[in-house]
Structure 1
Amino acid sequence: MNDHYLKKLDRVTAILTQLQSKPVVRAQDLAEKFDVSIRTIYRDVKTLENAGIPIVGEAGTGYSLMDGYKLPPVMFTKEEVLSFITAEKLMQKFSHQSLGNHYQTAMEKVRSVLRYSDKNLIQNIEKQIAVFNLHAHPEDSLKNVIPIILESIEEKTQLIIEYKTVDSTITTRTIETVGVFFEFNFWYIMAFCTLRKDFRQFRVDRILQITKTQTPFLQEYGQINDYRKRSNENKVTAKLLVDKKIMSHLVNSKRYYGLIEEVETDRGVELTFETEWINDGFPRWLVTFADYATVLEPDSLRTRLNELLIKMTERHQ
């Protein structure tokens, strides 16, 4: 069998896997994924149909497997099995606790269809992979929060949350959830807040109560990345000149506070940040190494830093 037919076999098998995993698969998306022409995808789909696979759909729209059709269990390659082990280790450290049990159950199902040799591979190598998290997981007030949020997205129904803000004020909000995201070791909800009549981010570990309602929302909000880009527009650019000798102590924290550029100069290292925390979180972090840093911009950051330093001096006199 020559190389052309081996590539075709791999591609046709991969297309079948795509059909098993998605409700509808477009020919154009498959063509882009496998870097072939759409006509080649049409021929590959025809090959599957000739092999007895009941595919529903037409060229130019989308393809799917006939409802109710079942295929034998998927066989995984050794490389795929190794990727599962690594992913499981990452999920144990970085997944939200309300998702952990569901992922564990899913992985048990995956393990159940592995060949005996692959099960031995997992047993032998999983203890050789470790993931170390620099930050402790925040403790949530509630359990099973993320699944409730995801259900509200799927059902397009409003949620009522009791929420503690950064200054410990407790408010009740009715929200229409766009999505969830993980950033800086915390899970967040991106949602439309009916109280503020605008989009807001809510940190999941600050939710004290959450209630699903039967109230639908009809607005189509699109993808979460659209709103993450919008929130980035509210960020302020800050520039610092930092002594080189302190840089090794900022390796992790500078990324957390929004570092976008780092330039070494004769005077020191010029750091450029984009931050939403210009009035509180960022200047309080800057206080920890202010004797080794100069604020280049904005002036408001310099003013806020001086205010904090004066308060600290007064408190400890």
Structure 2
Amino acid sequence: MNKTDRQLAIMLELQRSKVIRAEDLASLYETSVRTIYRDIQALSEMGVPIFGAPGHGYSLMEGYFLPPIGFSAEEAVALLMGADFIEQRLDGDYARVAKAARSKIEAILPETVREESTRVRETMRLLNAGEPRTGLKEKDILGQVRRAILERRKIRFSYKKKTPEADGNRESNREVAPYGLAFAQGNWMLVGHCGLRQDIRHFRLSRMTNLTVLDTPFAMPQGFNLNRYRPQDDRNEHIWIRANPEIADKIAESGNFYIESAEERKDGLWVHFRVRAPEEILPLILSWGGEVEVMEPESLRCRVREEAEKMLKRY
């Protein structure tokens, strides 16, 4: 990053942050603290009202804003495609905001940049990773959950798990303190503290019904940050399958979260999975038909055999 770009970036960071230290700016822009001091001095001499408090950091004078900044064609494409994604995946409130933002961005672009960004966008398409767009019902749930998170209010809903519990039931009622939302592998997930399990749990929005936002408030755990949160890995079941090497690409393209490794041996492609319960991966194994064989555990071999016998009876 050259000096001019770095000084503009420092101005933007100061406008975004109330107070920021020179050490943090140096780390952010990968330069020395002495260089940051020189940049701050240069900006002050250009008339930018920057205040420094020893031991605290730098800040901009309240009410000071940078003039509108132009976008390159690549920057415009990034913003416009981001607006497309938000319109496809978020609830109605943000979909409307995304549409309005897209119109405003397109309106302020110089004609040459607008034409170039249009040309670039015509060569790229935002696909949904094999998943349909977020449905209207799921978007409604997303909007309610999002507002409950901001208002720090608990929610109650019915939840249908992918695999049944020990008692055979798949559906249960949950009361949850919602901490945040994550979009993973084409699905919206709620991260929150479950009253039933007395621990942090993850819930797929598409499996939630009868959602109610309660008046019961909750406090976010001190120091909790969704971007830094890492769930405990409880995938303790190991599964080995032997596959026809000709479907190696198909297995790799599945992008399955549970795949640990794949190794081609003399007798075929050996794939190692790590799961919470073997039932989680049963549909995937069945989808590969006779091209794969479960080697371990024996219990899963029996399950596959049972499903194959059921299918044989139907045909």
TM-score, normalised relative to structure 2: 0.81
The percentage of aligned residue pairs carrying the same residue is 27
How many angstroms apart in 2 are the aligned matches of 1:217 and 1:72?
41
Which residue pairs with 1:38 in the alignment? 33
Q: Within 5 A, what are the aligned runs for 1:224-243?
A: 224=226, 227-230=229-232, 232-234=233-235, 236-243=237-244
**Number of positions where the alignment pairs a residue of Structure 1 with one of Structure 2:** 307
CA contact (8 A) 1:163 1:208 kept: yes
Aligned to 2:206: 205
Query: Which residue does 1:3 correspond to in 2?
Result: none
Conserved? CA contact 2:191–2:202, under 8 Å: yes
Letter in 1 for 2:259: L
Is 1:17 aligned to 2:22, yes or no? no
The answer for unaligned runs of 5 or more in structure 2 is none
Structure 2: how far apart are the matches of 1:69 and 1:305? 66
Give 1:267's aligned residue: 267
Q: Which residue of 1 aligns with 2:76?
A: 81
Distance 2:63 2:9 in 1: 20
1:150 corresponds to which residue? 146
Q: Please tell me whether residue 220 in structure 1 is matched to residue 222 in structure 2.
A: yes
Cα distance change on mapping 1:64 and 1:81 into 2, 3 Å = same
Instruction: Determine helix, strand or coil for the equivalent of 1:80.
Output: helix
> Which amino acid in 2 is paired with 1:27?
A
1:66 and 2:66 correspond? no
2:90 is matched with 96
8 Å contact kept, 1:239–1:272: yes
**2 CA distance for matches of 1:237 and 1:296?**
11
Q: 1:138 and 1:289 mapped to 2: Cα distance?
A: 27
RMSD: 3.1
One-letter amino acid of the counterpart of residue 192, structure 2: A
Q: When the two structures are superposed, what TM-score results if normalisation uses the length of structure 1?
A: 0.81
SS, match of residue 190 in structure 1: strand
Amino acid at match of 1:42: Y
Please list the CA deviations of residues 79-121 of structure 1 after superposition, one character each: whole Å capped at 9, or x if unmatched.
Answer: 312333444455555x335443332223333334333432333
Q: Which runs of 5+ in 1 are unaligned?
A: 1-5
Relative to structure 1, is the Cα distance of residues 106 and 310 closer, same or farther in structure 2, using a 3 angstrom cutoff? same
1:49 and 2:15 aligned? no
